[in-house]
Chain A
Amino acid sequence: MTSRPAAWYSPRAMLSRRAAWTIGAAKAVTAALVALGVFAGLPARWWPVDVPAAVLVALEAAAAFGLFSGARWAANAARFGAAVALALGALAVSCLAVTATWLSGVYGAVGRGGAIVLALVAALVLPYLVVLPAAQLLWLGSSGRRAASGRS
């Protein structure tokens, strides 16, 4: 069994300070937006939305804290948080799209107003819960590989 280099676990070693702060800030913003959107914006509590949102907020906030403080576990937490965000975001967008499609199947035309509302909701979810975590996964993945191979 080969041991991993210690640098793999150190965000400072695999991410520059600027990169760690940038990703940390993105995660903090994501956590805040999800918390605000779900727990302040949605007027009713429903566990299928609330529980995943709470888990995501906790993961993203913890990853942000780890990245800001340079914790050894930060990179893994950031990567795991991004993967969870991407999975939940993809699921949310798919659910929204399927629901919209079901409604248009039942009711016929959704009308211009309805189409705009649905597009706006998708547009709000996509950047923060699909595009951003995907970009983080790429960045963290490539940084991790660079760190593992000893390249800077």
Chain B
Amino acid sequence: MSVRALARLLLVWVVATAVVCALVHRAFALHVRDAPIGVVVSAWSAGQLVGRWVMSREGARDAAIDASLASHPGATRVDEAVVAEGPVVSWSDTALALSFVPGRDGVSATYGDRTAFVTPDELLARQAYDHGVSFPWLQLSVGVDVPVLLALLSERLGAPARDVLERATLRRIRVVRTVAGPPPPPRTTARTMTDADLKAAAFDAAAYLARGVDAQGRFRYLVDAPTNKTLSGYDWPRHAGATYFLAQIARVSGDADVRFATLRAAGYLRDHAMVACGANRCIGDAPVVDVGSTALAVVAFIEVLGADLDASYALLVPELTAFLRSQQRPDGEFMHEYDRDAGHPIDVQLLYYSGEAALALSRAHARFGDPRDLVAASRAVARLTGPGWAFFGSRYYWGEEHWTCQAVDDLWDRAPDRAALDFCLGWQAFSRKLQYGPGDTAYDADGAYGFGPILTPRLTPAGSRTEAAIATLRAARRAGVGEAELGELEQQARRGLALLLRHQFRPGPTHLFDDPAAVEGAMPGSEVDWQLRIDYAQHAGCAMVRWLELGRPDAPEPALQAH
């Protein structure tokens, strides 16, 4: 082939690809209408759709709507004005699933002479977003749940789902939602956020968790917000982490419900999960237990002591810290599991546990003064931020270090480690590169962490990284780090906190919940993932408490004082 022929061929390819790209973008971008195409009016009662009408304008009155609302006392009228629409790809389930922006887009389907709408509210109520295409190896799921979408359309159009897919004309719709009632509060931003907002939000998060602690002391670990059903699963480290947060709020609020819930949750750890691990005691109920459960139980018990809830926990902590120390290798790393039947540690490393153990030992030393705990915590931090994360490219790739950097801060007054602080500053600088700004995505994601347009930003990493950013900021201030870097850290934390405030259910879209009061104060997994796990509220709440206890140069007294 001659140079000229090949060049011509490649040029044709480049031009053709560019033209196709431009056409595809133009075709699939939303076509915004000057006036709404229609207004989908819904009546919601206890999270159930009890009436549906399509009107020509927002707020339009209709006898049928009024009658329906009257027959369902407490029902909420929601107007969703269809302001834009666009085509979808329906020949592939994957492409169809990815054709909708989660939480923003619904669908219209025209089948014969009938047109039906499935709105974002309905998809949220069914938890259909981010359940379309699963990537189990990444523990990730994206896109709309197509079977749920088709089932809703099928029901509404009175046609089999397969016919809807094959014969109906599907289009995505963008809606603007108006809920009857008082106007929503102004959008919270890093600039407008106040300490009072954070204090109320942290207390509400704790109140939500406290309501879920049963008489035995078990949390409602995972709750489906729309139906208020408790889902299966449990996890000791998260139980301990949630107990730690409750104890923090018990300490600063003195709220009786939170105090009693804290005691029940801590008691459940003590009475149902504290077992023999060789010569020591540890937390777990399986033949193989992990270090993280014990580490966070230590953190929780020390917080229980700090809140003056029950002094007897002072007797338990040394037994648990002895177990943690016995799991430490000579190089400072921890062996993360222990085989209780065989009576020996298992030298594997899992996410989070080493940082949690370092923080637990640091807190234990601060409380009880055992020098062995300080040595063990310092060695762990030195290992985690030094040889444990030293490889080619380690400056460009980071793990989840939120517990590690809280330990670095916790140790600073007793065993400062400048190299460890630099590690945390580097991690936070890396995180800032991944922090979304306003307008970076289709979501309300300013302050969240992630990349790409498809993944709905998760709120738990925002909570845990914000927690660590504030801890790093606290240590950095004491280390005399430059004002510019302190300012960046502070802004990063403020944006993360504002994001959490915007998304916490206070009270959230109550018309879509079976029992809004039951989930008030909870933190969802994301804008569209309303399965509420206890660590979501814990990380967000702990970040808020850290910020309130931080104190600022312009306000030397921390905003959150012990009750």
Bound pair: A and B? yes
What is the interface of chain A, defined by CB distance below 8 A to chain B? Answer: 43, 90, 93-94, 97-98, 100-114, 116-117, 130, 134, 137-138, 141
Cβ proximity bits B514-546 to A, threshold 8 Å, 1 near / 0 not: 000000000000000000000000000000000
Which residues of chain A come closer than 8 Å to B27, judged between CB atoms?
105
| A108 & B441 in contact (Cβ 8 Å cutoff) | yes
Choose one: A94, A105, A106, A109; the contact of B439 (CB below 8 Å): A109
| B17 & A94 in contact (Cβ 8 Å cutoff) | yes
Choose one: A43, A98, A105; the contact of B29 (CB below 8 Å): A105
| B453 & A94 in contact (Cβ 8 Å cutoff) | no
| A93 & B451 in contact (Cβ 8 Å cutoff) | no
- Closest B residue to A91 by CB, please name it: B13
Which residues of chain A come closer than 8 Å to B440, judged between CB atoms?
109, 111-112
Q: Which of B6, B89, B436 has the most CB of A within 10 A?
A: B6
Tell me the complex Cα distance, A101–B25, Å. 5
Which residues of chain B come closer than 8 Å to A106, judged between CB atoms?
28-29, 86, 98-101, 172
| B24 & A111 in contact (Cβ 8 Å cutoff) | no
- Closest B residue to A110 by CB, please name it: B453
| B6 & A134 in contact (Cβ 8 Å cutoff) | yes
Can you list 9 pairs linking A and B with CB atoms under 8 Å apart?
A90-B13, A94-B16, A98-B20, A106-B100, A109-B440, A113-B450, A117-B451, A130-B10, A137-B6
B3 at the interface (CB under 8 A from A): yes
- The A contact surface, by secondary structure, is helix
Which residues of chain B come closer than 8 Å to A109, judged between CB atoms?
439-442, 453
Cβ proximity bits B408-449 to A, threshold 8 Å, 1 near / 0 not: 000000000000000000000000001010011110000000
| A103 & B454 in contact (Cβ 8 Å cutoff) | yes
Which residues of chain B come closer than 8 Å to A107, judged between CB atoms?
101, 441-442, 453-454
Interface residue tally on B, bucketed by range: 35 or more
| B17 & A93 in contact (Cβ 8 Å cutoff) | yes
- Closest B residue to A89 by CB, please name it: B13
B394 at the interface (CB under 8 A from A): no
Tell me the complex Cα distance, A114–B455, Å. 10
- Closest B residue to A137 by CB, please name it: B1
Cβ proximity bits B2-40 to A, threshold 8 Å, 1 near / 0 not: 110010001001001100111011111100000000000
Choose one: A90, A98, A108, A138; the contact of B453 (CB below 8 Å): A108
Tell me the complex Cα distance, A43–B17, Å. 28
| B101 & A141 in contact (Cβ 8 Å cutoff) | no
Tell me the complex Cα distance, A88–B209, Å. 55
Tell me the complex Cα distance, A100–B20, Å. 12
B176 to chain A, nearest CB (A): 16
Given contacts A98-B20, A105-B24, contact A111 B98 (CB under 8 A): no
